[in-house]
Amino acid sequence: MREEFILSTNPEYKMSPMPNELRCNQAPSEGTSPGQTKKKNNKTEVILVTGGAGFVGSHTLIELLQAGYEVVVVDSCIRSKPPQDGQRLPAVLERVEDITGKRLTFHMISLLDRDALRKVPSESIGTPLDYYHNNITGTVTLLQVMCEVGCKRLVFSSSSTVYGSAKYFPTDEEHPTGVDVRSPYGQSKYVCEQMIKDLYVSDKEWKVVLLRYFNPVGAHESGLIGEDPLGVPMNLMPYIAQCAVGRRELVQVFGGDWDTPDGTCVRDYIHVMDLAEGHKSALEKLFDNSFTGVKPYNLGCGRGVSVLEMVTAFSKACGQQIPAKIVKSTKRVTWARRFVLPIGGGEPGWSASRTVERI
C-alpha cells in the first residue's frame, strides 16, 4: 500500500542545471546506494512534490530521496529547462538521481491542469495577474484534487512576505499577516494560507505545515545543481555568480542609505540545503500522530546579511573581487530595509546550520 501526501515548493524559484562555469570547484558527492523505500505501518510513503524541477524543489528532492521516500515530481517547466527529446527527466532531475543514486518519477504537468493532475499516479510587480493565477488558482486546483483522492496532508511553501511591513524584528510566527503586504506575490501567498486555514475549519482531517521563508541561496555541495535562472536573475546570488564568470558587468546595489549598518539592504539568507532539510522535518512532523491543524513555521537563520556583505563573502570564496556599484533605489518602501527571521523555534526538529561563508 502507498501512503501519499503533498509537498508544494515555491514556484518562483526556477533554475537550470548548473553550467560548468558556475559549478563549485568540489568533487561531486557520492550518491547513496539504493536502499529500502521508507514505510510506515506497511505503507510506502509517497511524496508528490510540485515545482520539483525548481531551485528549492530539486534540492529538497535530494533530502527526501536520501531519507528513503518514494518521490513523484510535477512541474510545468515553464521557467526551467524541460526534458530534451528522448529524455525521461529534465537535466536537473537527472543530476538529482546521480547525486542520490535513487530513481524518481516525473510528470510535466501544470497545477492549473486539473484533468492532468488526476492522472498522476496515486517577477511579481510587473506581472501581478500571473502570480495570482499561478499561486491561487494552482493551489485551489491542487487542494480540490487532494480532496477527491483523500490526501489531506500538505507541506505548503509560503513566504515571509505575508508579514507585510513587519512591526518588529526578528519577526516570529505570531506576527500578524496580510497587513500592508506590498507585492502581488506576497498577497497571493497570504490568500493561499487563508484558503488552507478555511479548508481545515471545514474538515478537521487536514494536517498542514506552512513554511514561511525569504531568500534561499547556495547550492548542493556536489556543485551539480544550483540556482542558474533563465533570463536576467531576479535574486542576488545568481546575479553575483553571473558577474563572477563574466556574464554580467557588475552588481547593481539599489540604495546605499538604508537604515542598516552599511547602508545596503539586509536580508535573512538561508542556504537551500538548510531549507531542504526544513521541508523534510516538516514532512516528519506531519507523520506524527499528535500533529493537528494548520501550523506556520519560519525557516530562517535569525541573522541578517547585507548586500555588500554578501558580495564581499562571494568575492572571498571565489578568489576575485566582484565589481559592485551603488545606484539610486526607485522603490523606497519600508519593508525593503530589514527583514530578519528567527529559526522557526526548533519545534519541527530543525535549525539552520550553514553560515554565509558556507553559502
Which CATH entry fits the domain spanning 2-217+271-298: 3.40.50.720, 3.40.50.970, 3.40.605.10, 4.10.780.10? 3.40.50.720
Q: What is the pTM of this model?
A: 0.82
What would the grid cell of residue 121 be? 499516479
Kindly state the greatest CA–CA separation across the chain: 60
Could you tell me which residues come within 8 angstroms of residue 57 by beta carbon, excluding any fewer than 6 positions away?
Answer: 9, 10, 13, 49, 50, 51, 73, 75
Could you tell me which residues come within 8 angstroms of residue 241 by beta carbon, excluding any fewer than 6 positions away?
Answer: 22, 227, 228, 314
**What is residue 25's predicted lDDT score, i.e. its pLDDT?**
36
User: Residue 338: in which H helix or E strand, if any?
Assistant: strand 338-339
**185 in active site:** yes
What would the grid cell of residue 105 be? 518519477
The vertex-6 CA angle with 4 and 7, nearest 5°, equals 135
CB 282 within 8 A of CB 209: yes
Report how far residue 216's alpha carbon sits from residue 237's, in angstroms, rounded to the nearest whole number.
9
Select which of 69, 131, 163, 185 is catalytic.
185
Of 196, 340, 328, 324, the C-alpha closest to 267 is: 340
Report how far residue 102's alpha carbon sits from residue 33's, in angstroms, rounded to the nearest whole number.
7
Burial status of residue 318 (CB atoms within 10 A of its CB: 0-12, 13-18, 19 or more): middle
Q: What is the pLDDT along the chain (359 residues), one digit of tens a residue?
A: 444 445 665 544 444 444 443 333 333 334 334 456 666 655 568 899 999 999 999 999 999 999 999 999 999 998 788 999 889 999 999 999 999 999 999 999 998 887 776 655 446 677 888 888 888 999 999 999 999 999 999 999 999 989 988 888 778 899 999 999 988 989 999 999 999 999 999 999 999 999 998 788 999 999 899 888 777 888 899 999 999 999 999 999 988 988 888 999 888 889 999 999 999 999 999 989 999 999 999 988 878 899 999 999 999 999 999 999 999 876 544 444 445 555 455 566 787 888 777 77
CA distances from 9 to 6, 61, 253, 280, 319 (A): 10, 10, 28, 12, 33
Beta-ladder partners of 266: 306, 338
Q: Break the chain into its structural domains and give their ranges.
A: 2-217+271-298
Of 6, 71, 70, the C-alpha closest to 39 is: 70
CA 49 to chain centre: 11
